[in-house]
Structures are given as structure tokens and as C-alpha cells.
């Protein structure tokens, strides 16, 4: 415990010295180039402090204990640090995939490169494969020591900045849905990849459509066995062990709640009266965020001791995303007409910008992707509570 207190003091000192002052203003209205540059610089800064990939094994440059990681994310949130948005897939999903199922060559090729700033995106969803991901249609046909990939991917976050892509493609068109899918590492510089940015509801451009037209992948970039990509994807999707949700919950509980209280105070004419309607709603949000943060710690600790429940991740994701939506909705209501004059929000943060309407609109980015709230409720009902599955529709 004393060691942990010492670690917390060390992180605090580091944050006080290294969190860039005024980054929110600087990142408001930033160009894609300014965003990328800032993200890379912040990543390098964290790396030099030893905090960029705390969850990786020590031999690859990580090695912080779970308890230390929790402290790290608590302190980064408390100091209102920028968030690693661009490197998110790289340090979490890509690294987890490589560590869990990658070959030694794949690991040594990519893990150090990620530390040097290699950016990854994800090519899972397709126009006809959203919530029903296993119905994906992109094909990878084996031709000697290569695979030839054709199809269309959707919702690849920051794909235009990515060097590599985690790709799911069908290698056996005759196998049942979940079998016959393979997992690949796709070099985004090969010919046959066309990207089209998708403008989202907030007006920003974080996502891409990806068209694959005879793009080639060497057989050495297959992860796991051919036709066993679904299992690889399932294993690595949960490999972040709830730590990213903990990070987001901490951000919401620090800057997010502080901004909501401040917005409430202004709406109440400068002073909040305990017992007033606004104060009552704020106390309810305060309570729910406290519960969420505690639950995130519980889930991380359960993962650590091998006691993770089958629906833990879904409970956290569902609660976080809907709480976020209700909170940003309330912030928008409190802020009134001025909320509508904030035309841009700072990049490099999450949902605690204080530009309430834009954060509210952006909250659907949490209730829809990564398994929509409806899918999460199915998972909670079926895996968490053991309720019967919906009968399959037989054609």
C-alpha cells in the first residue's frame, strides 16, 4: 500500500510537470495534421515517462501492476490530461492480438514499432455486418504464399492515419458463419485499398469506409490458424480487461462531473441550492458515476484474479454509454442556448469537453458501436443471467 502511495505521488509529480497546459484550447478546431502531431507528441511524452503502455508485459515496455495502472488512469484523469485517441487500437487491440495469438516474428516486428508511433485501425464491421458481425462478406482467397482480399469495411476509426489494420475476412465461403473467418494484419500501404472518410453526426470525420480490391496480404500476416479468426477476435476483444472503461469512467468522474457541476451552477444563477432541482440531478449523476468507477475497479480486479463474469464487460459498457448520454443531455439542457454556439469541441479528449451539445451528439458513438446497447442487453440476458436465446429464424 505504501508502495502504491509512493507510485501515486510519482505520477502526480509527472503529471504536474508534463500535462500540456491549455491543450483543450489548442486542440479546438485543430486540423487533422495538428491532431496527429499532438497525439504522437503526447504518446512520446507518456512513453518517456514509462506510462504509454502500462498494461503491456515488462519485456515489451510495460509491466505496471493492475493496481498501478488504476492509479495511473485516476491521476491522468484528475490532472485532466489529453487522451491517447489515435494510438487506442494500436496499444490495446493490436497489442492484445499480437500478444495472445501473434507469432514471435509478428510481435517483434510490430510491438516496438507501435511504441515508435505505428498507428493501427480495425477492419471488422461491414455494411451488412454490424451487430451481426459474423455475417461479414469480405473474402481473402489464398494464392500461394499470399491472400487476395476483396470487400468493403466500414467504421474504421482513424483509418486515414493508420499504417496497419486488424482485418477479419472470410477464407472459407462454404463454412458456417463463425467458422471460415480468418484474422489478418493488413499493411495499409499496399495497392488495392481505397479509403473514404465518413462524416459523422457531429460533423467530424473520425471514421472511414475501406474498399479492398485485390489487396494482397502475405501468408505470414495471418494471425492464428486459418478459419479460426473468430476465436482470435473474441479472445482479444476482451483482452483489455476493462482497463479502458476504467480510464473513461475516471475521465467522466473528474473533468466531466466538474464541468457538469459548473454548468449547473451557472444555470442556477451562480449558486447551487441543496434541495433544488438542479442540485438533485447533479447528486444523482455524482452517485451513478461513483458506482460506475467502483464497478470498473471491481471488473478489472476480477479479471486479474480470473473471476471475470461473462457479462461484466457488457454491464459496464451499457451503463457507461447510457450514463454518458443522459449526462451530456442534461449538460446540454442546463447550458441552454449558449450550448448551441459551441461549433467545435477539442480533439484529443473524450466526453468531458464542456461543449455539451457536441458531446451529447457524440454519445451515440458509445451506444451504437462495439455492440449496441440492444446487443449488450442480449449478452447480459443470455450470458449473464442464462436466459434462453431467441430462436433462430429458419429460412
Partner 1 sequence: MTDELTQAREELRTVARALLAKSGPRPDWQLLAGPGWPGLEIAPELGGSGATFAEIAVIATELGRAVAVSPFLGTVVLGAGLLAGISPAAGRDALLRDIAAGRSRVAVAMATGDDAVAGDAAPFRVQRVNGRLTVHGTARFVPDAMAADHILLLGREDSGRPVAVQLGAAELRAEPQPVVDETRQLAVVEAGGARVSSAAVWQFAGDPEAAVRALAGRAALAVACDSLGVAEAMLEATVSYAGKRCQFGRPIGSFQAVKHACADMLVQVSMARELVSGAAGAVAGDAAEAPAAVSMAKSYACAAAVSVVGKAIQLHGGIGYTWEAGLHAYLKRAALNRSLFGSPAAHRQLLAQRYA
Query: Euclidean distance between the first and final Cα of the chain, in Å?
Result: 60
- Does 80 bind partner 1 (CB under 8 A)? Our answer is no
Q: Which stretch binds partner 1 (CB under 8 A): 34-42, 150-158, 161-169, 257-265?
A: 257-265
Q: 108 or 287, CB closer to partner 1?
A: 287
Report the DSSP pairing between strands 139-143 and 120-123: unpaired
Q: How far is the CB of 318 from partner 1 (least distance, A)?
A: 6
Candidate ranges 73-81, 112-120, 175-183, 289-297; the one touching partner 1 (CB under 8 A): 289-297
Q: Minimum distance from CB of 284 to partner 1 (Å)? A: 6
Over the window 355 to 394, marking each residue x when it contacts partner 1 by CB under 8 A and - when it does not, the resulting string is -------------------x-xxx-xxx-xxxxxxxx---
Q: Which is nearer to partner 1, 120 or 320 (CB)?
A: 320
From 94, 292, 327, 347, residue interacting with partner 1 (rule: CB under 8 A): 292
Contact criterion met (CB below 8 Å) for 354 and 360: no
Where do the H-state alpha helices sit in the chain? 2-18, 23-26, 32-49, 66-78, 88-89, 95-101, 104-115, 229-237, 243-251, 257-267, 277-304, 312-335, 356-362, 364-367, 373-379
Query: What is the rounded CA–CA span in Å between residue 275 and residue 108?
Result: 59
What is the nearest approach in angstroms of partner 1 to the Cβ of residue 64? 20
Nearer to partner 1, 121 or 257 (CB): 257
Q: Which is nearer to partner 1, 77 or 292 (CB)?
A: 292
Cell (9 digits) for 250: 475516471
From the list 56-64, 99-107, 192-200, 291-299, the region that binds partner 1 by CB under 8 A is 291-299
Among residues 153, 23, 131, 22, the alpha carbon closest in space to that of 85 is found at 23
**Looking at beta carbons, which pairs linking 171-177 to residues 24 or more positions away fall under 8 Å?**
171/139, 171/140, 171/141, 171/142, 171/147, 171/226, 171/227, 171/229, 172/227, 173/139, 175/227, 177/134, 177/135
Nearest to partner 1 of 97, 263 (CB atom): 263
Please pick, from the candidates 16, 201, 283, 343, the single residue that binds partner 1 as defined by CB under 8 A. 283
The C-alpha cell of 134 is what?
Answer: 459474423
Q: Which of 166, 208, 313, 318 binds partner 1 (CB under 8 A)?
A: 318
What sign results for the dihedral spanned by CA atoms 35, 39, 40, 44?
positive
Nearest residue to 347 via CA among 16, 48, 76, 33: 33
Q: Which is nearer to partner 1, 189 or 389 (CB)?
A: 389
CB 331 within 8 A of CB 259: yes
- Our finding on whether 78 is near partner 1 (CB under 8 A) is no
Our measurement of the distance from residue 201's CA atom to the centroid of its chain's CA atoms, rounded to an integer in Å, reads 18
In the list 271, 341, 393, 394, the residue contacting partner 1 (rule: CB under 8 A) is: 271
Cite the active site residues: 240
Q: Which residue of 41, 105, 280, 343 would you call a contact of partner 1, by CB under 8 A?
A: 280
Q: Does position 284 bind partner 1 by CB under 8 A? A: yes
Q: Are 82 and 349 in contact (CB under 8 A)?
A: yes
| Of 208 and 379, CB closest to partner 1 | 379
Size of the site for partner 1 (CB under 8 A): 42
**Which of 315, 329, 344, 364 is the binder for partner 1 (CB under 8 A)?**
315
Q: Quick one: 53 or 245, whose CB is closer to partner 1?
A: 245
From 94-102, 247-255, 275-283, 340-348, give the range in contact with partner 1 by CB under 8 A: 275-283
- What CA–CA distance (Å, rounded) separates 59 from 114? 14
Minimal distance, residue 219 CB to partner 1, in Å: 42
DSSP assignment of 283-304, as one string?
HHHHHHHHHHHHHHHHHHHHHH
- Nearest approach in angstroms of CB 371 to partner 1 is 13
Query: Is 49 in a helix, a strand, or coil?
Result: helix
Q: β-strands 222-223, 207-218: how paired?
A: unpaired
Contact positions toward partner 1, by CB under 8 A?
Answer: 261, 264-265, 271-276, 279-280, 282-284, 286-288, 290-292, 294-295, 298, 311, 315, 318-319, 374, 376-378, 380-382, 384-391
Amino acid at each position: 500500500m505504501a508502495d502504491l502511495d509512493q507510485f501515486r505521488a510519482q505520477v502526480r509529480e509527472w503529471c504536474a510537470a508534463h500535462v500540456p497546459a491549455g491543450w483543450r484550447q489548442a486542440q479546438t478546431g485543430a486540423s487533422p495534421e495538428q491532431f496527429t502531431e499532438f497525439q504522437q507528441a503526447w504518446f512520446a511524452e507518456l512513453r518517456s515517462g514509462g506510462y504509454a503502455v502500462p498494461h503491456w508485459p515488462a519485456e515489451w515496455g510495460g509491466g505496471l501492476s493492475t493496481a498501478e495502472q488504476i492509479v495511473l488512469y485516476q491521476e491522468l484523469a484528475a490532472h485532466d490530461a489529453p487522451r491517447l485517441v489515435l494510438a487506442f487500437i494500436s496499444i490495446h487491440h493490436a497489442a492484445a492480438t499480437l500478444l495472445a495469438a501473434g507469432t514471435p516474428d509478428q510481435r517483434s516486428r510490430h510491438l516496438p514499432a507501435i511504441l515508435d508511433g505505428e498507428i493501427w485501425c480495425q477492419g471488422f464491421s461491414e455494411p451488412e455486418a454490424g451487430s451481426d458481425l459474423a455475417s461479414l462478406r469480405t473474402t481473402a482467397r489464398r494464392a500461394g504464399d499470399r491472400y487476395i482480399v476483396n470487400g468493403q469495411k466500414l467504421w474504421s476509426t482513424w483509418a486515414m492515419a493508420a499504417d496497419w489494420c486488424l482485418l477479419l475476412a472470410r477464407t472459407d465461403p462454404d463454412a458456417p458463419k463463425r467458422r471460415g473467418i480468418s484474422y489478418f494484419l493488413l499493411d495499409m500501404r499496399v495497392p488495392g485499398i481505397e479509403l473514404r472518410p465518413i462524416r459523422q453526426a457531429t460533423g467530424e470525420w473520425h471514421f472511414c469506409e475501406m474498399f479492398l480490391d485485390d489487396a494482397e496480404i502475405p501468408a505470414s500476416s495471418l494471425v492464428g490458424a486459418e478459419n479460426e479468426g473468430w476465436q482470435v477476435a473474441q479472445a482479444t476483444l476482451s483482452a483489455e480487461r476493462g482497463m479502458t472503461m476504467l480510464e473513461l469512467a475516471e475521465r467522466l468522474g473528474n473533468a466531466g462531473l466538474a464541468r457538469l457541476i459548473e454548468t449547473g451552477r451557472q444555470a442556477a444563477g451562480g449558486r447551487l441550492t441543496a434541495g433544488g432541482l438542479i442540485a438533485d440531478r447533479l447528486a444523482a449523476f455524482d452517485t451513478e458515476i461513483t458506482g460506475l468507477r467502483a464497478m470498473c475497479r471491481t471488473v478489472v480486479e476480477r479479471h486479474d484474479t480470473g473471476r471475470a463474469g461473462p457479462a461484466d464487460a457488457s454491464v459496464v459498457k451499457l451503463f457507461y454509454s447510457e450514463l454518458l448520454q443522459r449526462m451530456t443531455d442534461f449538460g446540454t439542457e442546463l447550458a441552454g442556448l449558449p450550448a448551441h454556439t459551441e461549433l467545435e469541441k477539442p480533439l484529443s479528449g473524450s466526453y468531458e469537453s464542456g461543449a455539451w451539445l457536441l458531446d451529447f451528439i457524440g454519445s451515440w458513438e458509445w451506444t451504437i458501436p462495439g455492440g449496441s446497447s440492444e446487443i449488450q442487453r442480449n449478452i447480459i440476458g443470455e450470458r449473464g443471467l442464462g436466459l434462453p436465446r431467441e430462436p433462430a429464424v429458419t429460412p
